[in-house]
Structure 1
Amino acid sequence: MIVAAATAALLATAPVPVQARGQGAVAAVDTAIAACERWLLEPASWNGNIASFGRAQGLRSQATVPSVALPPPAMRVSLHHWRVPLGEGGVYVTTSDRLPVCHLSGGGPFDMQPAIVALRRAPDFARRWRRTGGGREGGMVSERFVSTVDPQLSMTLSHAVAAGGRTDRVQFLATASYQIRK
């Protein structure tokens, strides 16, 4: 019941005009991933003025996000939230200014799986990220990537295996983290 209410809150956002759904969803997810890359690789871009970081990345400030959109509990330290609007849905971007993590979650009233697959196949994504592994479980695929800019930055991206799935739940998750060397 709590998860259903949180998922409803994730999907209950004011409509915002976007391009054609497929292109808009690809752009929204790419904007969110690029914001994570910048947050983790360029801390000077937000250090001292976190609010301006979101505006510079094309993100909308978000006071809170539904619990289903939050990172795993161990990563919930000193969080900041933004949103990339997409029609009646969007992509939540959650970062920490204490831990080197950035978490994304997205959904909406239309199927985002084709957009995630299209983004994964885009030449720009391949220039920025190299796939290192992955697997399938229960209708979901999770893939692991490492940044081509800095191998200390990695990301796990999870989404539905096939198009046509339910749209009344979170449709994809991504968690990027930077491994600090000692």
Structure 2
Amino acid sequence: MRRNVMMGLAFVALASHGPMRAVAAEREVGDALEVRAALSDGLAGALRACRLWVLHPDTWAAGPEPFLKDVGLGDAMGQVRSVADVNQPPEAWREGNVYWRINSSPDAGYVLVVSHRMPICQVTGGGDADLQPSVGEVLASPEFAEAWREVDEATRGDMVSTTFVSREEPDFTMVLSRAAAPGARRDRVQVIASASFAPAGE
């Protein structure tokens, strides 16, 4: 009862400020949904780029243009000379690295690290936005389900890590870790996906 009364008072207070307040609130919600969609597109593109780089090197062997076209993120994705230490892959993967930045919003996005010498890739995401809902959308998407099969999942603290196997190449595996619930801290990497191709017998 008290909650209903408080909600009613809040509605009256909003209405009393006239249509301008309502329009502003609607615009704020619309902007938030647009950012969330851009963050989902950015992660989906980063994972697509990871898969293409490792399994289809012909897409980048002749230069970055065909690769970028296949990834499909347009101007949101670009190659950079270096990235922060927090975005670097493990020491064992630091050979012939190429760095890509995906600016999904002014304050949040992803970094993709690949290699000319090793069949690996790593995606990290962070910034001043909650990435957990966008990660959930990508993992539940038909495109992701067509590319990856889940084989294991474990939760540690406030993070959940899922292991996937490529449906195209079963020796290509990925571990994707992200916040277990919305509202994760913004002062750390919020999502990290590490994938490597290790043919049986090698």
Shorter-chain TM range is: 0.7 to 0.9
Structure 2 equivalent of residue 91 of structure 1: 110
* TM superposition outliers: structure 1 runs of 4+ over 4 Å: none
Is 1:54–1:82's contact at 8 Å kept on the other side of the alignment?
no
Q: Which runs of 5+ in 2 are unaligned?
A: 1-30
Structure 2 equivalent of residue 41 of structure 1: 55
Is 2:139–2:145's contact at 8 Å kept on the other side of the alignment?
yes
Q: Tell me how far apart the structure 1 counterparts of residues 38 and 65 of structure 2 sit (CA, whole Å).
A: 24
Task: Report whether the alignment pairs 1:148 with 2:167.
Answer: yes
Letter in 2 for 1:95: V
Higher helix share: 2
String of CA shifts for 1:15-71, please: whole Å, max 9, x gaps.
xx997122111100000000011001101111242x335533332111111010111
Equivalent residue in structure 1 for 2:152, among 133, 138, 142: 133
Higher-Rg structure is 2
Structure 2 equivalent of residue 10 of structure 1: none
Q: Tell me how far apart the structure 1 counterparts of residues 32 and 46 of structure 2 sit (CA, whole Å).
A: 15
Structure 2 matches for 1:31-180, cutoff 5 A? 31-49=45-63, 51-52=64-65, 55-56=68-69, 57=71, 58=73, 59-87=77-105, 88-180=107-199
Q: Tell me how far apart the structure 1 counterparts of residues 144 and 89 of structure 2 sit (CA, whole Å).
A: 23
Letter in 2 for 1:150: E
CA drift of 1:117 comes to 1.0
CA drift of 1:76 comes to 0.8
Partner of 1:110, secondary structure, is: coil
Is 1:18–1:86's contact at 8 Å kept on the other side of the alignment?
no
Q: Tell me how far apart the structure 1 counterparts of residues 93 and 192 of structure 2 sit (CA, whole Å).
A: 14
Q: TM-score, normalised by structure 1?
A: 0.85
Higher normalized contact order (CA 8 Å, seq sep 6+, divided by chain length): 1
Q: Tell me how far apart the structure 1 counterparts of residues 112 and 66 of structure 2 sit (CA, whole Å).
A: 12
- Number of residues of Structure 1 aligned to a counterpart in Structure 2: 165
Partner of 2:68, secondary structure, is: helix
C-alpha RMSD over aligned residues: 1.8
Q: Which runs of 5+ in 1 are unaligned?
A: 1-16
Is 1:18–1:24's contact at 8 Å kept on the other side of the alignment?
no
Letter in 1 for 2:92: A
Is 1:39–1:46's contact at 8 Å kept on the other side of the alignment?
yes
Is 2:59–2:67's contact at 8 Å kept on the other side of the alignment?
no
Q: Tell me how far apart the structure 1 counterparts of residues 62 and 122 of structure 2 sit (CA, whole Å).
A: 21
Is 1:54–1:60's contact at 8 Å kept on the other side of the alignment?
no
Q: TM-score, normalised by structure 2?
A: 0.77
Identity rate of aligned residues, in percent? 32
